[in-house]
Structure 1
Amino acid sequence: MWGTQPDVSPPPAPGQHRDSRPPPGGEGVQPEDTAAAPLLVVGAVDSEVEGLKAMLAPLEQPVHTVSPWSEAFAPLLEEEPACILVDARRDGLGGLQTAHHLRDHERARHIPLLVLVGSTLAGADLLRDKGLGTVDCLLEPLHEELLRAKVGMFIELHRRERAMRAALARAELAEAAAHESERVLSTLLGNLPGMAYRCHNAPGFPLSYASPKALELTGYSAEDFTSHRVHWVDLLHPDDVQEVWAHIQAALHSREPFTLTYRIRTRSGEERWVWERGVAIYGPEGEFLMLEGFVTDITVHHQAEQERERLLTQTRLEHSRLEAILQQLPCAVHIVEAHSGKTVAVNARTEQLLGHPMIEVRSIKDFVRYRAIHPDGRRYAAEEYPLTKVLLTGKAQPEEELLYERPDGSVRLFLISAGPIWNGQGKLQAAVASCIDITELKRTERHQAFLASVSETLASSLNYEDTLAHVVQRAVPTLGDGCSLDILEPDGTLRRLAVSHVDPARAELAWEVARRYLKGLNAPCGPGAVIRTGQPELITDFSEKLRTGHAIDAEQLKLVRNLGVTSTLTVPLRARGRTLGALTFYYCRNSAHYSQEDQVLAKDLAHRAALAVDNARLYREAQLAVQLRDEFLSVASHELKTPLTPLHLKLTALMRELPRCCEGDTRSQGLQRHVEVAKRQVKKMSMLINALLDVSRLSQGKLKLELEDTDLGEMLDEVAAWFAPEAVRVGSVLQVETLTRVTGKWDRLRLEQVVTNLISNAIRYGAGRPIHARVTVEGDVARLVVRDQGIGIPPEAQERIFQKFERAVSERHSGGLGLGLYITRGIVEAMSGSIRVESRVGEGSTFTVDLPLSSPPPDARR
């Protein structure tokens, strides 16, 4: 509310006209003549006419003369003379006739006439009688002053008449212009997209004028406002009233126009945003009279602006988020403009990878200033970069490896890919490339592959000298131009175990240096010093001064010079706190040096080599210890078995004698039981000693078999009969199922040992439940199956129980040495058979032995 341009006149109130006057010379109005009005003299006597001209000369008006009435009058009358003088002093009738013609002429009837007549009064009366109605007449004699006075009066009247006509014409034009201006203003106000207004300086600022658009803007008509049924302030949103009033007060104080944006509520309750431009009108004394201005609906524009601000805020947020993500990405990202290749966005990681600031690019050709190189050292052409390929083809470029030479001389390997960015119209807008530095990854991959290969080589044989020689061969050229391995001997001397070099001739020089000068651990540098201190040694510049200082004699200096070593790296072979030797790597080129990664790889290689050496030595020592143990067990078993045999015989004899010699003695039965227990313990000890002896024989491969035709079913029946009392004693029922004549070429005693071990195990772990044993035939295989329903065996222990000194349960829950199943498998495999177990914890175990048959048995059962 309350706004318009200050230099635009306010519109008139309804029914009023503007009091405006167009300037002189406006359209349709000629300006007043500044030249003197001409005088017209009509006479018949030339001399008298000239005398009149002389009398009128002081008036400084042009004088035209003409003879009595003729056609010559018409052009002269067009000039609107100020006065026409008719000289009738000599020719009264002619002058009278001329006067009549002038009165009847359209152009001359309003021009003043001055008739000059004779001195006789009769002449004047004659003129009046003719009804000429002349303005005036002069009688002879003529007085110049009076003549000039009369003519001057007519001249002045003529001038005033012309001025009046011009004024009237201007007034008519001004009125017409005012009506046109009012019409144009009314049309404009009716078509403006808003409401023009005028309001008085009174409480509530009541409107004295409102344009017709008020109805469309507010729902109230102009008359609603001008009749004061509605006040504009009533339409203002309550939250905006204070701010609107503050802006108006500030504008009144500064006497400047004001511009407002606020909300109103229409007649229907709709909320609208409006824009107002207004100005204060002041009186002659500077007093504030009224406000005039213009108000228009900007709701749609405001909503669009709010949406624009929302989208702009969202865009800024997305841009900030994208920028943050871009900068936090672990890879380099480079976005360029389509066609030109100019950089649009880039993260800090990109410059870190390149090693230099981004290059200013104005066209694709400028990409040649980057430093990518081919494997052969050639620089990339501009169109070979993945980004430029996208710009030229519009196609995504898959990942590729790219070598980049940085300003510091280092060459890095990048993994880079690029793709297009299209706009909404499907046109190429930009291209983006992502890049990561895979130099270390590739180096690590090569190192890991190298170490894996070395580990495979080291694990391929326990002959460490051969495997280490292969490792030295593999180390070249991965870790240098040459490599040598020196081993510490038990006597404290060094022995060069292996040498490798890219140049075989220099390899021979390295062997020669070792043969002559590799003696002990007292050397100031090299393998001896590294073995002595246990610390790696890196010589980055093997200079001439260093060679001379460490050479023992001229011959050694010559050999070292011919070898051409420029840089060395020596690492110790340490395992379990002992230094076993040293690996030496060396370059014979000034341009090559050992990096931190190379040192880590060399240490890892040395550690693996040391473990291989140590493991080989431990294996040899373990083999020797096992051999000594087996020899001891063999001797001990024989020595222990020797006294048990007579002891067993004595106990048997004592059991026979006790009933006879102690007949009737109540202590006889007690002694009998003690002897039986002693006999069982002697038998158990004998079995343990036999087991130890069997282990020794199996370990040495000296288990001897006495093969003969043996019936497996008969063997199972005999062993089951032996163990039946023991099964009853623990609460188990031993059930046996066999076929007749299941015969094979087997060692009878050893087979008896197998069956005994399996049934004794079933009784021991059967938990007092039934035990099933059976012999079947499956093709050309005899099968012995022993199944119990006891505690079972965990899956992870089912393979382990066939090893020496192994059990499925703790020693506290089971006696014995843990050798029964080991010996059983050894015996079965020695007879070309196999043994396996199936078991679940808490559900028992099933042992199955398969032995080859010598002939197919009959199907009869017993």
Structure 2
Amino acid sequence: MLSEVAEVMSEEQFASSSPIGNGSKRGQLRSITRLYQTVFRWFQANTFSPKFLASPWSHPVFGYLVAMLGQALAVTAIILIVHGLPSFRFPEAIVLLIVLLVAFGWGAGPSLVATLVGAVLLTFLFVPPIFSFAVAQVVDLFGVILYLVVGLTLSILASQTQQARYRLEVLSTRLETIFEAITDAVFILDAQGAPPRVNAAARALLGLAEDEQIDTTRAPSFDLLDELGRPLPYEAWPEMRLRRGETLQGEATADVLFRARDGRTRYLSVSGAPVYNAYGAMHGAVLVCHDVTERKRAEEHAQFLAEISTFLASSLDYTATLATIARLMVPRLADWFAVDLVDAEGHFELIEVEHTDQSKVQWAKELRKNYPIDPNALTGAPNVVRTGKAELYTDISDEMLVAMARNTEELALARQVGYTSVMIIPLVARSEILGVITFVSAESGRKYYSPDLALAEEVGRRAGVAIDNARLYREVQQARDQLDIILQSVADGIVVYDTNNRIIYANDVAAGMTGFTSVQDMMNTPSTAIVDKFALINEWKHPFPLSQLPHRRVLAGEREAQAIIGYHDTTTEQPERWSLTKSRPVIDEYGKVVFAITIIHDMTARILAEQRKDEFISMASHELKTPVTSLKGFTHVLQRRLTKLGDEQGLHFLARMDAQLDRLTKLISDLLDISRMQVGKLSLDVEAVDVDALVSETVENLQAATSTHRLIMEGRTEAQVLGDKDRLGQVLINLVTNAVKYSPNADRVIVHLSTDEDQQHAVISVQDFGIGIAETHHQNIFEQFYQVTDSEGKTYPGLGIGLHISQEIVKRHHGRMWVESRKGEGATFYVALPLINGKVTDELPDARS
């Protein structure tokens, strides 16, 4: 072909070089080339390799050689036949036979060549004149043409038939490949009862070898059951329904349980349809089995786990719950089911065992008593507990029983049980192994596989969590009962409030203190109703604001709150009672207050005693004031007389007497102030007070009275406060005199003036460099009559009322007083008073009144 193309190209070049007729010659060459290409493609498309020859003899080129050699041999055979049988008149038949054979073997292309070669040879050798291609008679010419027509027709028909056969073989091969590759089991049924044709999936389902066919003369090697596990009548089998002409599609699809003789079970969704011929007669059917085992098992497992979870959540008595779970397992998932819990030493306790035969259950329990689990065993429950991994024994052989048995009697008992398959699952909760659950298949012959193990492990996890929750609940209940016993035995009332101000716990003491006969009655009454039936007062007999109740202050955000509250029931004749109420919050992991715990300590006896004491002190103070005043007057009279007489020694004694009378007068004044405070009658002469001037004047007066210390004044406030100038001066005098008193080895006291960061308060601090105050006393030193108990502090006598009076005066000025000190490092007392341009301005009328 390349040579022909070359010739064509040379001709085109020649034509293009000639100045005359270039266009016509180029067109002729193009037509010849297209004709050649068309003929070549036709021969290529109509030539194929025969299937009956092996490579390389199956190459298409050999078809053309066979066409020519075959016709040569055929003509030779004809010559021999004519020579032997002169009467032979059909030489074309042998040549056409060769044409037909070549057409079947290599296609229309080689057979066309065979036809032409045969025509040439017949014309040359048999048509007169012989050995010439000329045809003398019309009849002979007509015979040659007829031969060519018949040869061409045979070539085309034979070639097309063979090609159709080849295409059918290819299609059949493809269909067979697809048929075998289908993952669903496919059965092609024959209406005449021949063995059905099956694919690989069907053979795997039935357990057949690759070249094995279904033996229709024997009973089926499997059973079909309905969704409830009941045997399906043979007439209702999908195959029989198809043979009756039913179509199994859509809602008519059959769902069956396939159970082989070896115990294998698969859930199948069966569909199919009859196959009819052109005349409407059924000559077979196609049946397709889609394996839905995994889906069915997943649905069953999900439903089963849902039932398990429902029972596990229904009770916190895990013993009863496990008994219910065991009854669910048998016989649904096991023939034997057992639960063993393990203690810290590795010893197993049989909690539950279940079997359909209760006599066997008792037998199993007695067997466990006689043959307890060996904690050191290398396999089984001990190994599961040690490793935390489940064990699956799909097939239990007799050799395994022999290996596990500790003696011949135990081996005989194991054989009596008839183990088929076993699963041992750990009970796990919070990464702790609580025990094991054991699933045993025996008389049912069921085999456990990986999906069963996954289900059992999930049951084990949920059961482990349920057991752990039940244990925790029992421990919490025990702890709660113990705590309740402790709280009920406490002498103080205890009440717990939630964030909605609702009482969620109270002890008997609290119920009794609030007038209830039982805790339940108290908890059933709203806390607001409880408060409303009482008249509440503070220490000064004033109404107690409900917003200042300690538990409400804690729920509002305070870290701790306490108050002394007096109360009496307005609905009864109950006498007035007093209590010290303290509240603290309970905070969750997010720092949010969830409860308020309130402790109510009855102080009625103490308050009544203090009231009697205060009444006595008040009466005594008033009674002492008159004779002290008289003594003071007589002392002054004696001083004037002795001065005239010049009696220095008498004057010295009188001066000492006068100083003691001043101390006694101050003591009586302090006691009277305390009495006034306790009854709420401490009067204040409210006015605008210049802080800097007040402090400067007080420091100057005190400096004149002391020679041991320098009183240093630092800073300025340049501000005013609203208050009683004399009472504020009393506070400052008390702080400075204490600073001098408790710093005997120092020589200075610093009084500092400033305002706070918000410019809302004037801050006065008095700093000494004396013995200091331990931190344990910081809160207590402001209490009435409190004195430091250490040996060094006792060297400075006093009644412990000065700081208490000072703090009460500061409180009544809406201020605050505190101390900063360490033992041996001196002390600094602070007083913060609201400025006159602060919030107190709005309270000016009330303060003055």
Whether the TM-score (by the shorter chain) exceeds 0.5 is: no
Larger radius of gyration: 1
Question: TM bucket by the smaller chain?
Answer: 0.3 to 0.5
Higher helix share: 2
TM-score, scaled relative to structure 1: 0.38
